[in-house]
Structure 1
């Protein structure tokens, strides 16, 4: 189900709580909402649909992937960039890492480890920040 976008900055700055496999319907709603905003957005955290669970959805090309409780376990090669955010207007400067390894639970309840670099790594870092209540 497509959910409305949360634009309340106070709400968005609240850290999210860990997700469980029973939260998979939230992950599916997040993917549906991300698909509906494909033209302007490449990733979303559950707090963007006003649910404070550690769930993100990201676009890797045509594929949409949900991650429960994502954690960056390795990062290399820092760089400065600027990013936008569907819930706020404009761009803001931010520090990111060119290469990361993210650990998460998939929608089948399996723990996954995924190395990422470049723009996909940037997307995941941005969305994990949202889970932690960090606005760019």
Structure 2
């Protein structure tokens, strides 16, 4: 699978809110899912959002190193439906801002609603690094970067 170009600041499209993926389009996106996973690993990332590769859709990949089942996750139209009051500060990097690290406060625990690669609903809880990466990728889907935090 081809390695895709990761957009970096000041690329204006990184600041746009992305649009939801229609369930009827999900199966057609399988090649993109695979390309995004390969690109994420090629860049040593723990996550990658579609806007980072120039696709204005609500789609993110999560590296198996941070998932509870040790499998790569693909989240379509992810949304945080609940979160803890507690936030944890930790340093984050971003593939779209090479060389920068910033301390960012994120919810310690979140509940997520999304679709999987077959269009089936997902509803799950995430905590620790898994929750942090999901929140970071959802920020990308909303046009928010760590420099805004």
Common fold: TM-score over 0.5: yes
Q: Which of 104, 113, 119 lines up with 1:109 in the alignment?
A: 119
RMSD after superposition: 1.5
Aligned twin of 2:40? 34
> Which consecutive segments of 4 or more residues in structure 1 shift more than 6 A?
none
- DSSP 3-state at the match of 1:25: helix
TM-score, with length taken from structure 1:
0.90
Residue 84 of structure 1 pairs with residue 86 of structure 2: no
- Greater strand fraction, Structure 1 or Structure 2: 1
Report how far residue 18 of structure 1 moved: 0.7
Gaps of at least 5 residues in structure 1 are none
Of 125-134 and 52-61, the range deviating more from structure 2 = 52-61
TM-score, with length taken from structure 2:
0.83
Report how far residue 108 of structure 1 moved: 0.7
Gaps of at least 5 residues in structure 2 are none
Give per-residue Cα distances to partners, 1:25-73, cap 9 Å, x unaligned: 3223211211222xx3100100111111000000132521111000011
Aligned length: 134
Aligned twin of 1:47? 51
Q: Which of 15, 18, 21 lines up with 1:19 in the alignment?
A: 21
